[in-house]
Structure 1
Amino acid sequence: MITLSRKLKKESVEVKESCDMTKRISIRDRLLVKEIQEMENTLPSTCRTTFSDPNILHEFVLCICPDEGFWKGGTYKFIINVPEEYNMVPPNVKCLTKLWHPNISVTGDICLSLLRQNSIDGLGWAPTRKIKDVIWGLNSLFTDLLNFDDPLNSEAAEQYQRDQKEFQTKVKEYVLLYASR
């Protein structure tokens, strides 16, 4: 009886300790465990993610290697930081590769409505969105989500509208200088 009583007491303490550990895991980290597993199975073929530490899911690098369009032949790296307030606020994304793009500045800022807390078009961040939506959105900036009408890099957009051949030449120049595989 004494042994059983001690064993039950010990198990009770272990369960309590494990519950305390679970409480310490943030909501963001709980969401990311599920989302990262799902994301890995549904990534576009042109994308891959790299985690510098497999225990830190809230910061990772996304590489996009477009297989079509102006930026084909380049590798573009983005750092994605997921804030503690996630999923109420969008991830912070910065392009690490210098490129000539109407929706990505030469300093790496990104114009993608999905990354905005409040968006005029109603397509901004919502708690129902996931990391995979961000990745698909970033990937689409190299194919069908180009926006020359509301650019972040107005010089690139103006050049495209003025002379598409000159724009394409400048894009290829940036690919060779900064994004070669």
Structure 2
Amino acid sequence: MLTLASKLKRDDGLKGSRTSTTASDSTRRVSVRDRLLVKEVAELEANLPCTCKVHFPDPNKLHCFQLTVTPGFFVLCCVFLIDEGYYQGGKFQFETEVPDAYNMVPPKVRCLTRIWHPNITETGEICLSLLREHSIDGTGWAPTRTLKDLLNFDDPLNIEAAEHHLRDKEDFRNKVEDYIKRYAR
């Protein structure tokens, strides 16, 4: 993050000291997405619960990061609510990629840990209205949203898991615990 912030300052200084734009200047320009991410990532990190950790595989690429969620008492995760009753003891990885067209289009979020959850398929796809560019219910992505807006949404995708939870909470809990033992440790 410091590298990108330093680059922004350096690029601004170069623009002020030159009178003409050259091809080398355009390769040094920082995208709107990256300018937004410098601020939004700092805000996201400041607001995450202590049981969530952000990891940047490449610190020069703020647009690709992972979030690790280790549920404790009550944790708001980047994509859904996880409480100790079902998910405590697990360690869940999420991958976020922010596209070049951000903030006009939403980030792409994927669960890397196999989980039994109504909003997440077993292959890691996540269904949230907020992560859609166009949503029928009007709660989809808008340019005024930020990464922080991804907190605490409820939008079922894994219908089988949602129905399982409604039908038999104890059996649902058992299946979640089995998934944690097998995939989230």
Q: 1:23 deviation in Å?
A: 6.4
**In 2, Cα distance between the equivalents of 1:12 and 1:106?**
49
User: Partners in 1 of 2:128 and 2:15 — Cα distance?
Assistant: 49
AA aligned opposite 1:86: Y
Does 1:46 find its partner at 2:41? no
**Percent identity for Structure 1 against Structure 2:** 54
1:80 Cα deviation (Å)?
0.3
| 8 Å contact from structure 1 (residues 97, 178) kept in 2 | yes
For residue 162 of structure 2, give the secondary structure of its aligned residue in structure 1.
helix
| Count of residues in correspondence between the two structures | 158
The unaligned stretches of length 5 or more in structure 2 are 1-12, 73-83
Question: Which position in structure 1 is the counterpart of 2:147?
Answer: 131
Alignment match of 1:35 (pick from 34, 40, 43): 40
Q: Could you report, residue by residue, the CA deviation over 1:111-169 in whole angstroms, capped at 9, with x for unpaired residues?
A: 111111112222211111111222x2xxx3xxxx445xxx3111112222221111110
Decide which of 93, 98, 117 is 1:77's aligned counterpart.
Answer: 93
The change in CA–CA distance for 1:14 and 1:133 in structure 2 (over 3 A counts) is closer
Does 26-35 or 119-128 show the bigger shift? 119-128
Answer with 1 or 2: which has the greater Rg.
Answer: 1
User: Which residue pairs with 1:114 in the alignment?
Assistant: 130
Decide which of 8, 13, 16 is 2:18's aligned counterpart: 16
**1:160 lines up with 2:162 in the alignment:** no
Q: Determine the C-alpha separation between the residues in 1 that align with 2:15 and 2:170.
A: 70
Q: Is the 8 A contact 2:33 2:102 kept in 1?
A: yes
Cα pair distance change 1:28/1:96, threshold 3 Å? same
> RMSD of the TM alignment (CA)?
2.4
CA distance in 2, matches of 1:122, 1:71: 30
Correspondence for 1:89 = 105
Q: 1:56 Cα shift?
A: 0.6
Please say if residues 128 and 154 of structure 2, whose CA atoms lie closer than 8 Å, have aligned partners that are also in contact.
no
Cα 1:29–1:12 shift into 2, 3 Å: closer
Unpaired runs of 5+ residues, structure 1, are 1-10
The alignment's TM-score, normalised by the length of structure 1, stands at 0.79
Q: Is the 8 A contact 1:47 1:62 kept in 2?
A: yes
In the superposition, the TM-score normalised over structure 2's length comes to 0.77
Which amino acid is the alignment partner of residue 77 of structure 1? Q
- In structure 2, C-alpha distance between the alignment counterparts of 1:153 and 1:114, rounded to whole Å: 17
Out of 37-46 and 83-92, give the one that drifted further. Answer: 37-46
Determine the structure 1 residue equivalent to 2:182.
177
Determine if contact 2:40/2:147 at 8 Å carries over to the other structure.
yes
CA contact (8 A) 1:43 1:132 kept: no
